[in-house]
Chains A and B, each alone.
Chain A
Amino acid sequence: MVKVIGSDSAEDLAQLTDEDLMRRYRDHGAEVLFNELVHRYERELFRYLARYLGDPSLAEDVFQNTFLQIHLKRGLYEDGRPFRPWLYAIATHQAVDTLRKVGRHPTVSLDQRLAPAQADSESGSLLDMLVNDDSGPLADLQEQERQQWVRDSIERLPDSLRQTLILAYHQDLKYREIADILKIPVGTVKSRLHAALAKLQQMARTAHRDGKD
C-alpha cells in the first residue's frame, strides 16, 4: 500500500532514516519531512557550528543558512548517499565562508610534517608524549583554568586541524565520515588529528614550562 505523503505520524517519521526523509523530501517536497530533519539535527549541528565558529550567534546564522541550502539543493541529493556527511559538508562550507567574511583567527604555525607516510612514527611519538607525561602539563591548573586554556589553544590551531579535531572528538564522527565531509583521504584525516593533538600537547608543555619559570 502506498502511503500518502504528509499523512505520516510523528512516530512514523521518527522511524525513518535520515536518507529516507531526504529522498522523500527531494521527491515530494513535503514540509513535515524537512521539519523532522531540522529537529533531528538541531542540537548536534548547532553544537558543531558554535564550537567551530567560536560564536553562538554566528553559529545560529550558519545553521539557518545550512538548512536553507539543503532545501535549495534537495534536487542534487543522490540516492544512497549518507545524509549526515552531506549535511556536515554543507555546514562546513557555510562556516568557512562566514569565517572568511568576519576575518580569520590568529593561528599558531604548524611546524611539523603531515605526510601520511610518517603517520606511524608520529603516532608513536605522540602516544609516548601522551602516556609519559604522568602528571600532565595541565595537571597543575584548576579545571576552569584548564578549560579556558583549551578553548584559547584550540582557537589558535589552523582551520584544517581545528575542523578535524572538532569533528572527530566533539562530534564523534568516524574517519570515513570526516574524509567524506572535508573531501580529503582518510590518511590525511588521521594525520591532521594527530597533528592537532601533538600541537596542543606541545603548547601545553610550553605553557607549563613558562608557568614554572
Chain B
Amino acid sequence: MNSEEMLDFALGQLDDPRRRELEEAGRTDPEFAAKAHRVRHAVHQLVDDGYTFNPPAGLSHRTLALVAHSRSKGRSILDYVPVQVPFRWADFAVAASIFIAGLLTLMPAIQRSRERMNQAGCVFNLAQIGSSLAQYATLHPSYPYPPNDRADAHSGLFAAILHDAGMLTDLSVLDCPCNGKCAVHAAGRMDSFEQIDDLRKSDPAQYQKLVSWDYGYNAGYRRGSGRLGPLEARPASLIAVVADQPPQDAHLGVIDRNSPNHGGSGQNVLYSDGGVRWHSNRRISPNDLDLYLNNARQMQPGLNEHDAVVLPVMVPFVGSDNR
C-alpha cells in the first residue's frame, strides 16, 4: 500500500471493497492499525476546530418565505426554460423550411447586390483603361495603333501597346467581373507587342489563351483618302474607344443582341473624354447606328470619325471582310 492510499484511508476517502480490506488489515495487523490511528489523530489535531455550527432558529422558514416571495413576484424568464427538449423531425423540418424561405427571400437581393458590385467593377476597369489611354495620348497623336508592317495585328493588342508604353501594368482590368473570370491571369507577365504578335503565328493556341480579355477596341476609321487610320486623341470629340466585347459572330448582325459580358442586357462604353456610359442597345448616337458594326453593317473600322466600331479582340486592326 502506498502512502497516498494510506492518507486516503485515514481521511475516509477509500471506497468499498478496498476500504473493508484495509479495515480488516487493521484488525489483524496492530502496526498498521497504530499507523492509521496516528495519521487520523494528526489530521484531527491540524483540522478539527471544535466548532459545531448549528443553523439559527427559523432559518428554513425564512428561506421558504424568501422563495415564496420570489414566486409571488411573477414568473421569471427562467421559468420558461423548457425542462427537456426532445429531438423531433417536425421541429427540424420547420427550422429547415424557415431557413430555406429566408434564403429564397434573400437570394434575389444578394444577386442584385452582386450584379451592382460587378457592374461597378466593370465601370472601374474601363475608367482605368481610359486613364491609361489618356496618359498614352499625352505622348502620342493618336490612340494605340500598330506600325504599318503589323497592320494585320489583332485589335485586342491595343492592351499590349499600352503595356509596352508602361501605361497599363495591372492586367486584371481587362477582365469584366460580370461574366465570370476570364483567363487574363494566364497572360502572367505580358510580353512586348511584337512578341505577342509573333506568337499569333507561331503558337495560335497559346496566343488564344493569352489574348482573352473581355473588352473590344475601336481600331480607327477610314479616312477620306480611303486609307485606314487610328482614332485621333481628341478627348472633346466624344468617340467610343473601348467597350464590352461584341456578341458572338452568329449574333453580330442582330441589332438587338448586346455584349455577352452583362448577360445581353447592354454594354459599358468608354468614351474619349474618359467617361464610361451604359447603353442598353447598340445604337449609341444618331450618327452611329451600331457600336459593333460600321454604318455599312460590316465588322470593319468606321466609315468616318463619328462611326465608332468596337472590334472583338481577335479581329485585325484593318478589319475583317470575311465575317
Contact = CB atoms under 8 A, between A and B. Distances in A.
Contacts of B53: 46-47, 50-51, 56, 59
A123 B11 CA distance: 13
A151 B67 contact: no
A98 interface: no
A150 B13 contact: no
A128 B2 CA distance: 12
A38 B4 CA distance: 37
A75 B11 contact: no
Contacts of A39: 60
Given A34-B67, A127-B39, A130-B43, A151 B49 contact: yes
Contacts of A34: 64, 67
Contacts, number: 140
A147 B43 CA distance: 13
Interface stretch (B75-83, B206-214, B257-265): B75-83
Q: What secondary structure prevails in chain A residues at the interface with B?
A: helix
B64 A38 contact: yes
A104 B126 CA distance: 70
B70 A71 contact: yes
Contacts of A43: 54-55
Interface stretch (A3-11, A12-20, A105-113, A197-205): A197-205
A136 B12 contact: no
Given A67-B63, A130-B42, A27 B83 contact: yes
Interface string B45-64: 11111111111100110111
A133 interface: yes
Interface string A86-111: 00000000000000000000000000
B3 A127 contact: yes
B66 interface: yes
Nearest to B79: A75
Q: What secondary structure prevails in chain B residues at the interface with A?
A: helix
Interface residues of A, number: 60
Contacts of A124: 2-4
Interface in B185-231: none
Contact of B4 (A71, A119, A147): A119
A26 B83 contact: yes
A165 B49 CA distance: 12
A20 to B, nearest CB: 15
B137 interface: no
B234 interface: no
B127 interface: no
Contacts of A73: 78
Interface of B: 2-4, 6-8, 11-13, 15, 35, 38-39, 41-43, 45-56, 59-60, 62-64, 66-68, 70-71, 76, 78-79, 81-84
21 contacts: A26-B83, A43-B54, A46-B53, A46-B59, A47-B53, A51-B49, A56-B56, A72-B76, A75-B78, A79-B84, A123-B2, A124-B2, A128-B3, A136-B41, A136-B45, A168-B11, A168-B13, A170-B47, A172-B12, A197-B43, A200-B47
Given A34-B64, A35-B60, A50-B53, 17 more contacts: A46-B59, A47-B53, A64-B59, A64-B62, A68-B67, A71-B70, A72-B70, A123-B4, A124-B3, A126-B7, A127-B7, A130-B39, A136-B41, A139-B45, A144-B50, A151-B51, A197-B43
